[in-house]
């Protein structure tokens, strides 16, 4: 752990502590109680509570309840539960923004008195029109001339409910020509005649997030206000509010990190709510949902979720994480912990004709590499069940289990062979008549019989009947939008599965590995001793989805035409819409990238120009919306040290495999600093990708020579180690090895 480098948030915190900016690190987790928290919130919880804990401070749990119409106490409970389940403690009572409504109102009055806020009475259309565009300055409202007295009086009447919704607004007086559209006289208060779940009917006006949030942070003495990247443009207002009010220091500062996205998963509370409301899933804790309640019900452990959050890190650029990584975390955790037991999901009866006794076989719950003790007795008799899949009448090539000509071992017990297949009138197999080899008992086998595998089984009379719920991914597409992408086979229920009796009678744990079937969890709600129910947590091995690059790029239909900006949907202009259509339909950009480009004139013209010089629409769009956009946050186009042509040249080198993606990032950094052409940088630094097998082979040989154990494991069947070797070789080339070539050559060399 100590060797790991600190993420940028922790570095900021340490620097602030070093400078003595704050006495204590105080963070907050500020969800809006309008739905159940999801795995994205887990990331935010892990960061906010984690940082506070590490630096000896504390973290508040604050319900950001400024929107009276969507909030509910059941969501408050779910949020509290999620934080607790993940093992964190908030400081004192749960906080509510609504508790600060009076104070926030007081600050609004102070702004009015300072001449920094005014009551506006434009209608919605006018407000939009007056706001201007990214390239055009806005125009201040004619009502901004109102005197302080007039503003105070109107604001008081707004508060007292004397106006209808939408009739007036309170706005900050900032700058209608600011490059940051958010700073064009942002709205501070809105009239809303709505019942609030806590404040009841006390208020007819509600503060907006941009006003309430910095003040709530300040009121609580927060030092580091950590949020996700979509709030980057709101930071200016955050600072403006706190600075303009001339509050007594220290004041909090906002820091943004990239939100978590996972493929095959929808992650907004709004979309999750839809799935729940439409009854596509069975409530907020449906084990297929990415809600904390869903993971909890499914059998995920808090540790696995926290490990996952740690493994994905904290960064400043958005990306999509492969769901396989989350599945790896839970598998990895359970592998070290849970008892192994035998279940039969699809029973086929086997009668062992030459066995007439009854015995109890001792079997450990844990394999040798799990540092836990415990065992149970497996009853064994003439009648057992095996899984239908473990017998094949006409086996396919490479089938190692029971066939008419191939014996198999019953795990922990004897070797059996098939003597007769019993079928019903439809020709379906209903029973196997078998023979066992008396001297073949596991651990004391003297039979000399060779088998190719061992299968699980349960004794027929003592086995317990269980219900098993097999979950698969809820969505069949990588970047699902909603209901239309649902996987119709995401839940399969097996009513009559069987399990060895000790699982039900002894209850050694609530989570198990059902040998060869996966990890399972006793459902915390529906499980009874009469009808035990088990949820499948995760398969034993990764089933599909190799790590894909550019997940967002390949998927998703061009459907999102609206940008979601903290709850407000700003419609596109005609011009933007035309661009968007062109980007998604002609250039095949995904909707998110197209949306970003279409709405940003600077970016889209930069993009067009780059495209004219090299036609690689998707890859150029990627770099423009990520890397170039990042630069433009702090600079004007004219201040950039590189041109669209340079970016095109860089992408061309990647497309032609002259340099790797990784090196491209490095070159881009350098372009931003030195202003040199990418080609020149690559040449000067010798960054050209190495694709020549003559150079790569010796490096591979060296890596292979250094890792004899892993080579052996690979050859014995652990194919996952291929990745390890490729990684080592790429590292040895300092990232310059051509991954494709390296991959192919490593495979070749390892197979010998
Ligand atoms: P949603 O869009 O799902 O409703 P939100 O951002 O509106 O999410 P809030 O309840 O307002 O959710 O957010 C609480 C905190 O959790 C915020 O600080 C927010 O930035 C953070 N958060 C929400 N989603 C994610 C995510 N996917 N990854 C990381 N942090 C997130
Ligand atoms: Mg929200």
When pLDDT is cut at 50, 70 and 90, the band that residue 733 belongs to is confident
- Asked whether 464 and 533 are in contact (CB, 8 A), the reply is no
pLDDT at site 104:
98
Ligand 1 atom having least distance to the Cα of 259 = 28
pLDDT at site 673:
86
Per-residue model confidence as pLDDT tens digits over 112-122: 999 999 999 99
Residue 524 CA, ligand 2 centroid: distance in Å: 30
Question: Tokens at residue 445, please?
Answer: 């086998």
Q: State the Cα–Cα distance between residues 661 and 659, nearest whole angstrom.
A: 7
Ligand 1 atom having least distance to the Cα of 566 = 7
Residue 687 Cβ inside 6 Å of ligand 1? The answer reads no
Burial 675-711 (b: 16+ CB within 10 A, else e): ebbbbebbeeeebebbbeeeebeebbeebbeebeebb
> How many other C-beta atoms can be found within 10 angstroms of the C-beta atom of residue 422?
11
Q: What SS3 state is found at 240? A: helix
Determine which helix (DSSP H) or strand (DSSP E) holds 565, and give its type and residue range: strand 563-565
Residue 35 CA, ligand 2 centroid: distance in Å: 9
Ligand number nearest CA of 35 is: 1
Residue 227 CA, ligand 2 centroid: distance in Å: 12
pLDDT at site 437:
97
Q: State the Cα–Cα distance between residues 352 and 385, nearest whole angstrom.
A: 11
Ligand number nearest CA of 228 is: 1
Rg (CA), the chain: 31
| 748, pLDDT greater than 90 | no
Burial 319-331 (b: 16+ CB within 10 A, else e): ebbbbbebbbbbb
Residue 41 Cβ inside 6 Å of ligand 1? The answer reads yes
3-state secondary structure 677-714: CHHHHHHHHCCCCECCHHHHHHHHHHHHHHCHHHHHHH
Q: DSSP characters for 586-605?
A: IS---HHHHHHHHT-HHHHH
Residue 271 Cβ inside 6 Å of ligand 1? The answer reads no
When pLDDT is cut at 50, 70 and 90, the band that residue 229 belongs to is very high
Per-residue model confidence as pLDDT tens digits over 414-436: 999 999 999 999 999 999 999 99
Residue 259 Cβ inside 6 Å of ligand 1? The answer reads yes
pLDDT at site 570:
66
- Asked whether 447 and 439 are in contact (CB, 8 A), the reply is yes
Q: State the Cα–Cα distance between residues 506 and 464, nearest whole angstrom.
A: 12
For ligand 1, pick from 259, 265, 316, 482 the residue to mutate: most ligand atoms within 8 Å of CB. Answer: 259
Q: Are strands 511-514 and 518-522 parallel, antiparallel or unpaired?
A: antiparallel
| 690, pLDDT greater than 90 | no
Per-residue model confidence as pLDDT tens digits over 121-130: 999 999 999 9
Average pLDDT of span 78-84: 98
| 553, pLDDT greater than 80 | no
Q: State the Cα–Cα distance between residues 608 and 601, nearest whole angstrom.
A: 10
Residue whose CA lies nearest to ligand 1 atom number 25? 40
Beta strands in 229-312 (DSSP E): 253-257, 260-262
- Asked whether 65 and 79 are in contact (CB, 8 A), the reply is no
Question: Tokens at residue 614, please?
Answer: 């090299």
Q: State the Cα–Cα distance between residues 317 and 663, nearest whole angstrom.
A: 17
Residue 598 CA, ligand 2 centroid: distance in Å: 24
Residue 43 Cβ inside 6 Å of ligand 1? The answer reads yes
Average pLDDT of span 380-400: 95
Residue 486 CA, ligand 2 centroid: distance in Å: 23
Residue 37 CA, ligand 2 centroid: distance in Å: 11
Handedness of CA 195, 196, 199, 204 (dihedral sign): negative
Residue 109 backbone zone (phi > 0: left; psi -120 to 50: alpha; other: beta)? alpha
Helix, strand, coil proportions of the chain in percent (round to 5)? Answer: 40, 20, 40
Determine which helix (DSSP H) or strand (DSSP E) holds 431, and give its type and residue range: strand 429-436
Supply the pTM of this predicted model. 0.74
Residue 743 Cβ inside 6 Å of ligand 1? The answer reads no
Residue 227 Cβ inside 6 Å of ligand 1? The answer reads yes
pLDDT at site 49:
98
Ligand number nearest CA of 32 is: 1
Ligand number nearest CA of 268 is: 1
Ligand number nearest CA of 271 is: 1
Residue 260 Cβ inside 6 Å of ligand 1? The answer reads yes
Determine which helix (DSSP H) or strand (DSSP E) holds 423, and give its type and residue range: strand 415-423
pLDDT at site 363:
96
Residue 44 Cβ inside 6 Å of ligand 1? The answer reads yes
Burial class (CB in 10 A: 0-12, 13-18, 19+), 529: exposed
Q: What SS3 state is found at 117? A: strand
Ligand 1 atom having least distance to the Cα of 44 = 30
Q: State the Cα–Cα distance between residues 156 and 177, nearest whole angstrom.
A: 29
What is the phi/psi pair of residue 360, to 5°?
-120, 125
Residues 6+ positions from 165 with CB-CB distance below 8 Å: 190, 191, 192, 193
Q: State the Cα–Cα distance between residues 227 and 258, nearest whole angstrom.
A: 9
pLDDT at site 428:
96
Residue 228 Cβ inside 6 Å of ligand 1? The answer reads yes
Residue 12 CA, ligand 1 centroid: distance in Å: 21
Residues 6+ positions from 36 with CB-CB distance below 8 Å: 75, 78, 82, 269, 272, 284, 285, 289, 291, 292, 293
When pLDDT is cut at 50, 70 and 90, the band that residue 752 belongs to is low
pLDDT at site 48:
98
Q: What is the mean pLDDT of the chain?
A: 91
| 469, pLDDT greater than 90 | yes
Residue 62 Cβ inside 6 Å of ligand 1? The answer reads no
pLDDT at site 362:
96
| 243, pLDDT greater than 80 | yes
**If we measure between CA atoms, which residue out of 396, 419, 397, 398 comes closest to residue 407?**
419
Average pLDDT of span 207-218: 98
Per-residue model confidence as pLDDT tens digits over 612-662: 989 899 899 989 988 898 888 778 888 889 999 999 999 999 888 888 888
Report CA 192 to chain centroid distance, whole Å. 35
681, HSE (Cβ side, Cα atoms, 13 Å):
23
Ligand 1 atom having least distance to the Cα of 261 = 27
Per-residue model confidence as pLDDT tens digits over 290-349: 999 999 999 999 999 999 999 999 999 888 999 999 999 999 999 999 999 999 999 999
pLDDT at site 519:
98
pLDDT at site 559:
34
Residue 269 Cβ inside 6 Å of ligand 1? The answer reads yes
Average pLDDT of span 84-108: 98
Residue whose CA lies nearest to ligand 1 atom number 15? 31
Number of H helices, E strands in the chain: 26, 29
Residue 24 CA, ligand 1 centroid: distance in Å: 25
Residue 28 Cβ inside 6 Å of ligand 1? The answer reads no
Question: Tokens at residue 463, please?
Answer: 């086995």
pLDDT at site 543:
53
Average pLDDT of span 449-466: 96
Burial class (CB in 10 A: 0-12, 13-18, 19+), 33: buried
| 378, pLDDT greater than 60 | yes
Residue whose CA lies nearest to ligand 1 atom number 27? 40
Active site residues: 32, 259, 269
Residue 567 CA, ligand 2 centroid: distance in Å: 6
Residue 516 Cβ inside 6 Å of ligand 1? The answer reads no
pLDDT at site 558:
34
pLDDT at site 710:
87
What is the phi/psi pair of residue 434, to 5°?
-130, 170
Per-residue model confidence as pLDDT tens digits over 131-184: 999 889 999 999 999 999 999 999 999 999 999 999 999 999 999 999 999 999
Residue 106 CA, ligand 1 centroid: distance in Å: 28
> How many other C-beta atoms can be found within 10 angstroms of the C-beta atom of residue 398?
6
Per-residue model confidence as pLDDT tens digits over 695-731: 899 999 999 988 888 888 888 888 878 888 888 898 8
What is the phi/psi pair of residue 418, to 5°?
-85, 130
Residue whose CA lies nearest to ligand 1 atom number 29? 259
Question: Tokens at residue 377, please?
Answer: 């007795």
For ligand 1, pick from 7, 9, 29, 31 the residue to mutate: most ligand atoms within 8 Å of CB. Answer: 31
Ligand number nearest CA of 234 is: 1
- Asked whether 522 and 339 are in contact (CB, 8 A), the reply is no
Average pLDDT of span 544-561: 36
| 549, pLDDT greater than 50 | no
Share of the chain above pLDDT 90, in %: 73
pLDDT at site 151:
98
Q: State the Cα–Cα distance between residues 555 and 477, nearest whole angstrom.
A: 7
- Asked whether 385 and 348 are in contact (CB, 8 A), the reply is yes
């Amino acid at each position: 752990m100590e060797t790991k480098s600190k993420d940028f948030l922790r570095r900021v915190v340490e620097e602030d502590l070093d400078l003595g900016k704050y006495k204590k690190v105080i963070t907050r987790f500020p969800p809006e109680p309008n739905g159940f928290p999801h795995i994205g919130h887990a990331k935010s919880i892990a960061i906010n509570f984690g940082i506070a804990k590490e630096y000896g401070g504390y973290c508040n749990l604050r319900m950001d309840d400024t929107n009276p119409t969507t909030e509910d106490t059941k969501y408050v409970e779910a949020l509290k539960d999620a934080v607790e389940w993940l093992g964190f403690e908030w400081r004192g009572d749960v906080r509510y923004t609504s508790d600060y409504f009076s104070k926030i109102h007081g600050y609004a009055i102070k702004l009015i008195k300072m001449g920094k806020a005014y009551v506006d009475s434009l209608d919605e259309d006018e407000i939009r029109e007056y706001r201007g565009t990214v390239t055009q300055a806005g125009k201040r409202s004619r009502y901004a001339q109102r005197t302080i007295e007039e503003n105070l009086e109107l604001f008081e009447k707004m508060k007292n409910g004397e106006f209808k919704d939408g009739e007036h607004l309170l706005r900050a007086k900032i700058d209608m020509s600011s490059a940051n559209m958010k700073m064009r006289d942002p709205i501070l208060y809105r009239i809303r005649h709505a019942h609030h779940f806590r404040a009841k009917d006390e208020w007819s006006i509600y503060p907006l997030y941009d006003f309430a949030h910095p003040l709530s942070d300040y009121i609580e003495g927060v030092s580091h206000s950590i949020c996700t990247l979509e709030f980057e443009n709101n930071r200016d207002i955050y600072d403006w509010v706190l600075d303009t009010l001339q509050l007594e220091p220290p004041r909090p500062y906002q820091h943004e990190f990239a939100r978590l996205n996972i493929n095959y998963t929808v992650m907004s509370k709004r979309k999750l709510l839809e799935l729940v409301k439409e009854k596509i899933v069975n409530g907020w804790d449906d084990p297929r949902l990415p809600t904390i309640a869903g993971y909890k019900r499914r059998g995920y452990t808090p540790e696995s979720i926290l490990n996952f959050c740690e493994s994905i890190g904290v960064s400043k650029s958005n990306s999509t994480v492969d769901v396989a990584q989350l599945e790896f975390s839970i598998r990895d955790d359970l592998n070290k912990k849970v008892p192994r037991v035998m279940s039969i999901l699809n029973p086929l009866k086997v009668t062992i004709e030459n066995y007439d006794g009854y015995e109890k076989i001792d079997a450990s719950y844990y394999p040798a590499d799990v540092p836990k003790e415990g065992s149970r007795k497996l009853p064994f008799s003439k009648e057992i069940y095996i899984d239908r899949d473990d017998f094949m009448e006409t086996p396919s090539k490479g089938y190692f289990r029971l066939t008419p000509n191939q014996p198999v071992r019953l795990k922990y017990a004897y070797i059996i062979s098939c003597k007769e297949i019993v079928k019903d009138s439809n020709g379906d197999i209903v029973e196997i008549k078998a023979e066992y080899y008396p001297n073949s008992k596991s651990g004391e086998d003297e039979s000399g019989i060779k088998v190719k595998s061992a299968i699980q089984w349960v004794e027929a009379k003592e086995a317990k009947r269980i219900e098993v719920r097999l979950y698969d991914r809820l969505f069949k597409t990588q970047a699902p939008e909603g209901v239309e992408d649902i996987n119709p086979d995401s839940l399969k229920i097996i009513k009559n599965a069987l399990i060895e009796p000790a699982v039900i009678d002894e209850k050694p744990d609530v989570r198990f590995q059902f040998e060869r079937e996966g990890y399972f969890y006793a459902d915390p709600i529906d499980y009874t001793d009469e009808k035990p129910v088990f949820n499948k947590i995760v398969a034993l091995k990764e089933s599909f989805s190799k790590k894909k690059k550019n997940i967002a790029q390949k998927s998703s239909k061009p459907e999102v035409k609206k940008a979601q900006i903290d709850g407000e949907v700003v419609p596109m202009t005609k011009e933007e819409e035309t661009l968007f259509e062109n980007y998604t339909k002609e250039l095949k950009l995904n909707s998110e990238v197209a949306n970003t480009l279409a709405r940003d004139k600077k970016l889209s013209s930069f993009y067009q120009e780059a495209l004219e010089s090299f036609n690689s629409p998707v890859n150029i769009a990627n770099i423009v919306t990520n890397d170039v956009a990042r630069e433009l946050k702090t600079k004007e186009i004219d201040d950039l040290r590189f041109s669209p042509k340079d970016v095109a040249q860089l992408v061309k080198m990647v497309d032609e495999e002259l340099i790797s993606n990784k090196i491209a990032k490095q070159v881009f950094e350098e372009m931003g600093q030195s202003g040199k052409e990418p080609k020149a940088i690559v040449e000067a630094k010798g960054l050209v990708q190495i694709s020549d097998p003559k150079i790569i082979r010796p490096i591979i040989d060296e890596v292979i020579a250094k890792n004899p154990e892993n080579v052996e494991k690979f050859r014995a069947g652990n194919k996952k180690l291929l990745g390890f070797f490729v990684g080592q070789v790429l590292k040895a080339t300092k990232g310059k090895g051509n991954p494709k070539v390296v991959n192919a050559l490593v495979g070749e060399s390892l197979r010998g």
